[in-house]
Amino acid sequence: MQQRKYHTQTAYVKSALIACVGILLGLNGSAATASDSTTNSLSNSMAHAAAEMPTLNAHRAMINYIIHCQGCHLRNGEGSEGGAPSMVGVVANFLNAPGGREFLLRVPGVATTALDDAATAEVMNWLIFEFDKDHIPADFKPFTPDEVGHMRKKPYVEEAEKIRAELIDYLNSN
């Protein structure tokens, strides 16, 4: 019984994903965005952000996040003990420290993702608004594919944790 329920749920999730991909393939970006209620409620909740969310396909960004990032960061960016740190209410704050923008793109999860430069930039632009719009500097410039391409040539190997701690120290004392 339990087993069957699990399969039914899996089948549901699969068909939902297939439907999403169908929408993405079948329609161009703006049509897909306009017809999707998740995306619409997302933009509504962003109406009060100090910085404006760059033009992007939020639905595609979310699917890419689910496929490539959620395994470690979890669905709502909350992370887990001993896994990835929580991004909720904190991730955009790194943009307020010198070197913080670079840090966000050089962490291994971002720099070495299978996503291409454009899709990575889109996920990053989406996630900082999704998880921490209140800390986005008012003069924030969207991450660009070129910038991602440049930064991912020098991914952190072991130094991410140390640099992260230094940035947090800076933010706490400024």
| Residue 70: its H or E element | helix 70-73
HSE-CB of 44 using CA atoms within 13 angstroms: 7
Query: How far apart, in whole angstroms, are the C-alpha atoms of residue 152 and residue 25?
Result: 28
**Smallest distance, ligand HEC to C-beta of residue 89, A:** 11
* Nearer Cβ to ligand HEC (39/73): 73
Q: Is 115 in the site for ligand HEC (CB under 6 A)?
A: yes
Asked if 91 is part of the footprint of ligand HEC (rule: CB under 6 A), the reply reads yes
Give the one residue of 29, 160, 166, 170 binding ligand HEC; rule: CB under 6 A.
Answer: 160
Quick one: tokens of 58? 């939020």
User: Which are the contacts of 83, defined by CB distance < 8 A and separation ≥ 6?
Assistant: 72
Among 59, 68, 101, 135, binds ligand HEC (CB under 6 A): 68
- Does 108 engage in binding with ligand HEC (CB under 6 A)? yes
Alpha helices in the chain (DSSP H): 2-26, 29-34, 37-45, 58-68, 70-73, 100-106, 108-111, 117-132, 145-151, 160-172
x/- map, 118-147, ligand HEC, by CB under 6 A: -----xx--x--------------------
Judged by CB under 6 A, which stretch of 4-12, 42-50, 82-90, 147-155 contacts ligand HEC?
Answer: 82-90
> How many angstroms separate the CA atoms of 90 and 155, rounded?
21
Regarding 85 and contact with ligand HEC (CB under 6 A), the answer is yes
110 counts as binding ligand HEC under rule CB under 6 A: yes
- Cα of 80 vs its chain's centroid, Å: 16
Q: Nearer to ligand HEC by C-beta: 18 or 72?
A: 72
Handedness of CA 23, 32, 143, 84 (dihedral sign): negative
- In the complex, the residues that contact ligand HEC under the rule CB under 6 A are 68-69, 71-73, 84-85, 87, 91, 104, 107-110, 113, 115, 123-124, 127, 160-161, 164
